[in-house]
Amino acid sequence: MQTSARCNAGCLWAVALLLIPVTAYAQAVDVAWTFGNVGSASYRLDAFSPGNIEFGILGSQDPTLPLELGKRYEVRVTEYVVHPFEVLAKSTSPSQDRVLLSMSIAGSFESDPAVQWEDDNRGTVRFTLTTQLYQAMLEGGRIPGYRCRPHLFTMRGDFTVAGLPLGERIGTSAIQVDLETVASGLPAPIDLVPDPEQPDRLYIVDQSGLIHVIDRGQLLDEPFLDVRDRLVQPLGIFGTFDANDFDERGLLGLAFHPDFANPGSKGYHKVYTYTSEPVQGPADFTIELPAGEEINHQSVIAEWRLGRGSDVVAPGSVRVLLRIDQPQFNHDGGTLAFGPDGYLYIGLGDGGGANDTSPGHGDRGNGQNINTVHGSILRIDPLEPGPTPDSRNPASANGAYRIPWDNHFVGIDGIDEIYAYGLRNPYGFSFDHLTGALIVADVGQGFVEEINIVRKGLNYGWNLKEGDFLFDPEGVAVGVPFEDPALTDPVAQYDHDDGLSIIGGHIYYGSLLPQLRALYVFGDFSRAFRDPDGRLLTADLWTGKIEELLIGSDQRSLGLFVKGLGQDLNGEIYVLASTALGPFGNTGVVLKLVPPADS
């Protein structure tokens, strides 16, 4: 039966292809590949041209192919009748792939005149990689890729893309570092926060819903806090709920009140969390959705306190400060941190989707809308207002916290809680210990990742610009410099030739690696969405220069997805990473930056 089914499928493909008229080629190509196949298990690279450029090893199976924006490509498949070739927005689950160009059916971009899709119906196709096509490849967290249509589960590979707005590539730092494992066996560690009272005690925020404790170098069995029953369930947008699944929701932030260690203070033994929770009643801040659309989840900022005489949080001590409606699953921000002014800062993304144009983003996007909290850094005094007006900071509309009187929009048009706005997804921010500067890493859309010094009341440009460049949701204008004195430019940036998603870090003030002092140490999630190929990076925030930190005396790459970076009370930095794409499994690790063993 299996042999017969394959034969019938092959006959159907042959009939379909023969019925399509032959197209004459009109334009030369920059690069051409020829694919054979290894049964139905994989494509095999049999030839490529031009010969003076290396495109992989001949004979390699389902190789990763390099593309460049604006270039034209040819793919020839020798057994095209049974192995028709398709260009994809590729998902970790083949059932979630989106076909953009196809030998066998009409893909969504075949009619685009800029792509100039050509198919001779005899196994050879040609296409131009336009910015619109590239953006379509990234839609919904997917990656550029290809597959065989009838063998979509086995014959599939990736593309890498170059030619993005910034011409200069990231170089290698001369600073030598190594990584020391502090904890392992975790699902998805995304942040590390030191205990304000006990210098040898660290807290690991795990996206899956646990806060783990490292005490004197040992990972304790009992968690500091377990909020798994509060989170959106199940996490995972692809539905596989394993190491190949992905999500941006979960337990995302932890902060200790500055007076945590002061028994006489209202902030004594109080901590704050950021969680992604199911919709549970009216939100303090919502957005308008078109008919038929529903809120995906709510971002919840909550206050907790330690149990009496205990080193862990009292489970029933929760007090909700803010409940915020989120239209999509992604761009949640999530970082919480107290500034040197004693106020709590909260990072919120633009609401998700793509381009700040999805349902719930209004006519102009949330990033530029000062009447929504999305796409902003918020600043509040989280302690519960007393019965008497003992502060010049007014109580919030819900009565759960106070609003600093000098927030930019207090008394004028705009939401009072907003400190700064025009951000896409501020995933990871920190305060410089010496200057107090607020350093925000803002995840880009399709082209540029950026680092900003954020100041009160300023507009950081999303979605009018991405990095220093004009942002065009249609993908036509890419790499066009954009200057507007009303918008604040980043202090450092890099494009997707060098990464995929910036992971915010910290200015280094430790003693183990003095060469790193005063450099901003951060990361990039991975150079490919599906593969654990994250990078550890440094930035000189005065000059904007970015370099990569390679690991050990052998100068190896990290080989992990970077999920977060943390810093202890001594100024040393930790990398939180995993081989799993999302909040699943047990490959999550906490790694401390240390000198190489032979230094």
Q: What is the DSSP string of 4-36?
A: HHHHHHHHHHHHHHHTSPPPPP-S--SEEEEEE
Per the CB < 8 A criterion, the answer to whether 252 and 205 are in contact is yes
The CATH number of the domain holding residue 527 is 2.120.10.30
Tell me how far apart the alpha carbons of residues 517 and 433 are, in angstroms, rounded to a whole number: 12
- Non-local (6+) Cβ contacts of 396 within 8 A are 284, 380, 385, 402, 403, 417
> Which region holds residue 411: left if phi is over 0, alpha if psi is between -120 and 50, else beta?
left
Looking at the fold, whether 463 and 535 belong to one and the same domain comes out as yes
Tell me how far apart the alpha carbons of residues 594 and 589 are, in angstroms, rounded to a whole number: 15
What confidence score (pLDDT) does residue 52 get? 59
Looking at the fold, whether 221 and 114 belong to one and the same domain comes out as no
302 located within any domain = yes
Per the CB < 8 A criterion, the answer to whether 585 and 187 are in contact is yes
What confidence score (pLDDT) does residue 323 get? 98
Looking at the fold, whether 111 and 190 belong to one and the same domain comes out as no
Tell me how far apart the alpha carbons of residues 91 and 446 are, in angstroms, rounded to a whole number: 16
Tell me how far apart the alpha carbons of residues 587 and 445 are, in angstroms, rounded to a whole number: 28
Class of residue 129 by CB neighbours under 10 A (exposed 0-12, middle 13-18, buried 19+): buried
Looking at the fold, whether 103 and 177 belong to one and the same domain comes out as no
Looking at the fold, whether 143 and 179 belong to one and the same domain comes out as no
What confidence score (pLDDT) does residue 88 get? 96
Nearest Cα to Cα of residue 378 among 492, 306, 454: 454
What confidence score (pLDDT) does residue 9 get? 35
Residue that terminates a domain, selected from 162, 194, 222: 162
What confidence score (pLDDT) does residue 93 get? 87
Residue that terminates a domain, selected from 162, 179, 198: 162
The CATH number of the domain holding residue 139 is 2.60.40.420
Q: Which two tokens stand for residue 20?
A: 């399509």
Looking at the fold, whether 248 and 382 belong to one and the same domain comes out as yes
Per the CB < 8 A criterion, the answer to whether 524 and 500 are in contact is yes
Q: Which domain covers residue 334, as residue numbers? A: 171-594
What confidence score (pLDDT) does residue 160 get? 85
| Sites in the chain below the pLDDT cut of 70 | 1-27, 51-56, 388-390, 599
Q: Which two tokens stand for residue 562?
A: 């970077």
Looking at the fold, whether 261 and 371 belong to one and the same domain comes out as yes
Return the sign of the alpha-carbon dihedral for residues 330, 331, 332, 333: positive
Looking at the fold, whether 437 and 567 belong to one and the same domain comes out as yes
Residue that terminates a domain, selected from 132, 162, 192: 162
587 located within any domain = yes
305 located within any domain = yes
User: Does the N-terminal peptide bond of residue 50 adopt cis geometry, omega within 30 degrees of 0?
Assistant: yes
Looking at the fold, whether 151 and 250 belong to one and the same domain comes out as no
346 located within any domain = yes
42 located within any domain = yes
257: number of CA atoms within 13 Å, CB side?
23
CA 369 to chain centre: 22
What confidence score (pLDDT) does residue 396 get? 96
Looking at the fold, whether 558 and 466 belong to one and the same domain comes out as yes
Looking at the fold, whether 139 and 203 belong to one and the same domain comes out as no
What confidence score (pLDDT) does residue 478 get? 77
> Which region holds residue 30: left if phi is over 0, alpha if psi is between -120 and 50, else beta?
alpha
Q: How many domains does the chain have?
A: 2
599 located within any domain = no
Looking at the fold, whether 199 and 294 belong to one and the same domain comes out as yes
DSSP conformational letter for 316: G
502 located within any domain = yes
